[in-house]
Amino acid sequence: MPRPLIATIHIDSMQHNLMRARDCAPHAKVWAVVKANAYGHGLERGMRGFADADGLALIETENAVRLRELGWTRPILLLEGIFDAGDVDLLVRHQLNSAIHTVEQIAMLEQATLSGPIDLHLKMNTGMNRLGFRPEAFGAAYARLRAIPQVREITLMTHFANADELEHPRLTVLEQVRRFCLGADGLQGQRSLSNSGGVLHQAALSTELSNDWVRPGIMLYGGTPGGRSAAAFDLHPTMTLASEIIGVQDLVAGDSVGYGSGFQAEWPMTVGIVACGYADGYPRHAPHGTPVMVDGILTKLVGRVSMDMMAVDLTHVPHAGVGSAVVLWGAGLPIDTVANAAGTIGYELMCALAPRVRVVEGNLDFNG
């Protein structure tokens, strides 16, 4: 029998979450973001789960080509654009839409011999300060692209730094929108501003925020960028990481658990050993008390996570034993809850799923 650790991908939840994105931004088309192997869910599963999206967005050029090979015929957006002059031909050959965020990328297009039309997303830096042209330089970049005969549509885009916190004290969403409108004034093209946070708060920003395209990522996978819970937004988990208890130890007061003896029992207790560790993608830095579910009962991690195993408190799960079902995150235990306890974010947990973990598909019996 194989090791009992299994990641179950819920395609039905992916479909549901895509519908929620449409509900939040009903007048916009949707780029479903499938970068990082569809946030650890698998590129092909992402394509099926978001089959009703208007387009798929990612950063890896090789995976954009793979989507075409898998049969995806709708638009594909390269969120970081092209990386080399040799990539320009891919845009025409595979009809890829490329973000443009540097003068070097513009020069690649100007110097290329394009055999057909291409569509582009011109990115403005409105305060994120990663990629893009500042508002005062945006018009000049747009003019250079517009002068290339093969350039067809130019969508104007930016990326919110703090869409999970609308009134962030350093940079509000509305201030980024104001900067965007200033830099895009008088320029023709569709607009794409909102990531998951912007989509989820679309109702609160409806009078100020106008999107022709939105770019939801983490919300499609049942997580949120921060603030309210996924359940509060009616988002369903798309990945359940589950295992079993493979050993049980009865401790007396003073006994310690795991490497470094970092956890010491204060009274008699029972611990279960779970077949899951940091080599499977579970965060090694998760502290004592990180929630784990055993036989449907919420309990907690004890001791240090090791490469292949972790220990959980079974004191209040008296009927648990070898073979008992364990949920590390997903159905019944939101991934954001685990991530918050571990001092990280749900994105990282999904993307860190290790290749050795068996992955299956299964519908989620979700009752709210």
Interval 190-202 mean pLDDT: 92
Question: Is 366's pLDDT higher than 60?
Answer: no
- Please tell me the predicted confidence (pLDDT) of residue 255: 96
Of the listed ranges 124-133, 160-169, 287-296, the least confidently predicted one is: 160-169
Interval 252-280 mean pLDDT: 96
Interval 246-262 mean pLDDT: 95
Q: Kindly state the percentage of the chain with pLDDT values over 90.
A: 90
* H/E stretch holding 358: strand 358-361
Q: In this predicted model, which residue has the larger pLDDT, 207 or 53?
A: 53
- Is 130 marked within a binding site? yes
Tens of pLDDT, residue by residue over 70-79, are 999 999 999 9
Question: Is 118's pLDDT higher than 60?
Answer: yes
- Please tell me the predicted confidence (pLDDT) of residue 162: 86
Question: Is 205's pLDDT higher than 90?
Answer: no
Question: Is 256's pLDDT higher than 80?
Answer: yes
CA distance 310 to 280: 11
- Is 239 marked within a binding site? no
DSSP secondary structure of 131-194:
SSB-HHHHHHHHHHHHTSTTEEEEEEE---S-TTSTT-SS--HHHHHHHHHHHHTT--S-EE--
Tens of pLDDT, residue by residue over 303-331, are 999 999 999 999 999 899 999 999 999 99
CB 128 within 8 A of CB 134: no
- Please tell me the predicted confidence (pLDDT) of residue 168: 84
Residues in the chain: 368
CA distance 74 to 71: 9
Interval 114-131 mean pLDDT: 96
User: In the structure, what pLDDT confidence band is assigned to residue 368 with cuts at 50, 70 and 90?
Assistant: very low
- Please tell me the predicted confidence (pLDDT) of residue 202: 79
Of the listed ranges 92-106, 160-174, 211-225, the least confidently predicted one is: 160-174
CA 332 to chain centre: 20
Residue 350: phi and psi, rounded to 5, are -60, -50
Residue 29 token pair: 């088309």
Interval 127-153 mean pLDDT: 97
Per-chain mean pLDDT for the chain:
95
- DSSP lists the bridge partners of residue 31 as 55
- Please tell me the predicted confidence (pLDDT) of residue 159: 95
CB 33 within 8 A of CB 59: no
Task: Report the catalytic residues.
Answer: 35, 259
Contact residues for 183 (Cβ-Cβ < 8 A; gap 6+): 124, 126, 133, 134, 135, 136, 138, 139
Least Cα distance to 196 among 240, 227, 237, 154 occurs for 227
Is the pTM higher than 0.75? The answer reads yes
- Please tell me the predicted confidence (pLDDT) of residue 91: 97
